[in-house]
């Protein structure tokens, strides 16, 4: 197949991109990329690897940030503790396919996340379990059955599960809801649980036994060398070029006509023409503590603060996630905020409706693959984003008859 019109539209000076930041040295190629991937987070990097490896496409990945890995980016701080710049990220999944794919790029360190909530000066397990109920209600409950019966007794029956308030009070009643969920949720979202979709608080299970792990998933491990190292290996492929510190708007014209994987906010892609989708942001403060003898500061990896008088929602001690032993420990405080990077799509019916208007525009663009948490405006965990990207790329046919595919036959 000869060079198609799309290939001819590529910039003559594409060779200038040889100043790659990742990937091995490779022979200069006079043609440009077959696909442009915007965003080097999970959605973009997984898509890039699949397209490069399975379809043999030349992929250019750009990210406006000065690094890869998106919100999962981690780096060593001044004391050598591996910290996450965009908030603590704990990996957990039930999807074998996701584990299989990521395991090609990382070993894993066993880590089961545990959380306690600080309520009236004491720490209780979160998610709510038998110990939580006994501690906060001053009752003795012998075994799962008795705890389940007690929770059923304090629960408030609800006809329908529309809001996050419904989903919690229907399981544990008003008192536990108010002490563990209401204040935390108001801080996190600047909305009352009664204004948020039921699925938000339903992320947190309720248990009648003594299991005190935060997640139920069958696979709970952390990338052994961290997330960034895993992404470096994922993007290390002869067909992949990565450029960080590059804003899409600045190269849009340059790569016009090339199929695109878009992992940024969907409303931004369409110039906010239907109005802005709301996102919740977050500010992170890191605190260094001296820990002589390598002791740990917190009883669990994360401590949640549901009390509205405290401005942050939770504090995480990174060393518990990484297993590092050191004379200092780094803590991350999470302060939810209206301003800043778009981190959390806000699950409310009117936002979903607005998203659907953008989705219609997206459906009319088969040349663009919208994938990831911001492009789908969905509150997705890392594993869900990986699974979504793996499936989306399988279905996507970015190669039109006009696209240059000569090199595929080589
Ligand atoms: P992102 O990681 O956001 O990547 C998108 C990338 O696109 C960004 O790097 C951005 O810079 C780039 N980009 C956007 N627009 C442009 C543009 N115009 N030009 C160039 N580049 C652009 N999930 C879990 O499973 N476990 C957790 O413990 C967990 N904790 C979290 C804690 C916080 C505070 C947050 C916010 C999320 C957490 N998540 C967690 C969710 C997880 O971060 C996401 O599922 C995942 O990172 C989404 O990947 P993504 O590629 O869709 O998006
Ligand atoms: N939540 C709460 N109290 C808690 C923990 C969670 O009210 O102690 C609610 C809160 O609304 C939060 C949601 O449950 O946004 C989901 O919690 P998760 O820990 O999954 O949030 P994420 O890790 O995504 O920030």
pLDDT digits (tens, 9 = 90+) for 390-404: 999 999 987 543 444
pLDDT tens for each residue of 214-237: 999 999 999 999 999 999 999 999
Which CATH number do you get for residue 20?
A: 3.40.50.720
Exposure string of 157-180, with b = 16+ CB inside 10 Å and e = fewer, is ebeebebbbbbbbbbbbeebbebb
Q: Report how far residue 61's alpha carbon sits from residue 48's, in angstroms, rounded to the nearest whole number.
A: 7
| Per-residue pLDDT at 399 | 59
| Per-residue pLDDT at 261 | 98
Average pLDDT of the chain, as a whole number: 91
Question: Is the pLDDT at 405 greater than 60, yes or no?
Answer: no
Tell me if 38 is assigned to some domain.
Answer: yes
Mean pLDDT of 144-153: 98
Mean pLDDT of 187-203: 97
Say if residue 229 is in the same domain as residue 195. no
Say if residue 46 is in the same domain as residue 161. no
6 pLDDT band (50/70/90 cuts)?
Answer: very low
Tell me if 209 is assigned to some domain.
Answer: no
Say if residue 45 is in the same domain as residue 165. no
- 201, 235, 264: which is the final residue of a domain? 201
Q: What share of the chain has pLDDT > 90, as a percent?
A: 89
Which of 72, 127, 181 most suits a substitution to test ligand 2, by most atoms within 8 Å of the C-beta? 181
Please tell me the number of the ligand nearest to residue 314's CA.
Answer: 2
Tell me if 306 is assigned to some domain.
Answer: no
Residue 229 lies in domain: 5-72+225-276+345-409
31 CA → ligand 1 middle, Å: 31
Query: Using CB atoms within 10 A of its CB, is residue 23 exposed (0-12), middle (13-18) or buried (19+)?
Result: middle
207 pLDDT band (50/70/90 cuts)?
Answer: very high
| Per-residue pLDDT at 397 | 83
Question: Is the pLDDT at 21 greater than 50, yes or no?
Answer: no
| Per-residue pLDDT at 239 | 98
Mean pLDDT of 258-286: 98
Say if residue 153 is in the same domain as residue 240. no
Say if residue 177 is in the same domain as residue 51. no
- For residues 212, 216, 217, 222, the Cα torsion angle rounded to the nearest 10 degrees is -30
Say if residue 174 is in the same domain as residue 236. no
Question: Is the pLDDT at 276 greater than 70, yes or no?
Answer: yes
Say if residue 160 is in the same domain as residue 256. no
Mean pLDDT of 44-73: 98
Which residues, including other chains, have CB under 8 Å from residue 356's CB and lie 6 or more apart? Answer: none
Which of 119, 184, 186 most suits a substitution to test ligand 2, by most atoms within 8 Å of the C-beta? 184
Tell me if 119 is assigned to some domain.
Answer: no
| Per-residue pLDDT at 31 | 75
106 pLDDT band (50/70/90 cuts)?
Answer: very high
What total number of domains does the chain contain? 2
Looking at the DSSP bridge assignments, the partners of residue 60 are 36, 241
Please tell me the number of the ligand nearest to residue 344's CA.
Answer: 1
Mean pLDDT of 125-146: 98
201 CA → ligand 2 middle, Å: 6
271 pLDDT band (50/70/90 cuts)?
Answer: very high
């Amino acid at each position: 197949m000869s060079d198609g019109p799309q290939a001819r539209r590529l910039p003559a000076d594409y060779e200038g991109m040889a100043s790659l930041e990742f990937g091995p040295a490779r022979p200069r190629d006079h043609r440009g990329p077959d696909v442009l991937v915007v965003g080097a987070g999970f959605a973009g990097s997984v898509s890039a690897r699949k397209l490069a490896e399975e379809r043999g496409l030349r992929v250019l990945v750009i990210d406006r940030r000065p690094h890869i890995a998106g919100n999962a980016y981690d780096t060593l701080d001044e004391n050598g503790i591996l910290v996450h710049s965009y908030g603590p990220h704990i990996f957990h999944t039930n999807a074998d396919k996701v584990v299989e794919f990521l395991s090609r790029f990382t070993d894993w360190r066993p880590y089961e996340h545990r959380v306690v909530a600080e309520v009236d000066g004491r720490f209780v397990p979160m998610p709510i379990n038998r110990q939580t109920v006994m501690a906060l209600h001053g009752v003795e409950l012998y075994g799962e059955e008795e705890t389940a019966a007690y929770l059923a007794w304090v629960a408030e029956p609800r006809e329908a599960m529309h809001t996050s308030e419904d989903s919690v009070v229907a399981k544990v009643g008003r008192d536990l809801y108010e002490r563990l969920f209401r204040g935390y949720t108001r801080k996190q979202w600047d909305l009352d649980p009664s204004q948020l979709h039921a699925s938000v608080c339903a992320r947190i299970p309720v248990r009648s036994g003594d299991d005190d792990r935060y997640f139920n998933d069958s696979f709970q491990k952390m990338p052994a060398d961290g997330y960034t190292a895993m992404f470096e290996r994922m993007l290390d492929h002869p067909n992949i070029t990565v450029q960080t510190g590059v804003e899409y708007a600045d190269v849009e014209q340059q790569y016009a006509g090339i199929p695109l994987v878009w992992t940024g906010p969907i409303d931004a892609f369409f110039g906010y023409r239907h109005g802005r989708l709301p996102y919740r942001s977050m500010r992170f403060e890191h605190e260094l503590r001296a820990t002589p003898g390598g002791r740990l500061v917190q009883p669990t990896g994360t401590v949640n603060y549901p009390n509205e008088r405290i401005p942050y929602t939770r504090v995480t001690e990174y060393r518990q996630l990484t297993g590092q032993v050191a004379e200092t420990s780094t803590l991350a405080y999470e302060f939810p905020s209206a301003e800043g990077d778009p981190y959390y799509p806000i699950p409310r019916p009117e936002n979903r409706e607005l998203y659907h208007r953008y989705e219609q525009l997206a459906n009319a663009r088969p040349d663009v693959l919208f994938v990831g948490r911001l492009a789908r405006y969905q509150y997705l965990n890392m594993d869900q984003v990986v699974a979504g990207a793996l499936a989306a790329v399988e279905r996507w046919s970015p190669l039109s008859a006009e696209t240059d595919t000569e090199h595929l036959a080589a």
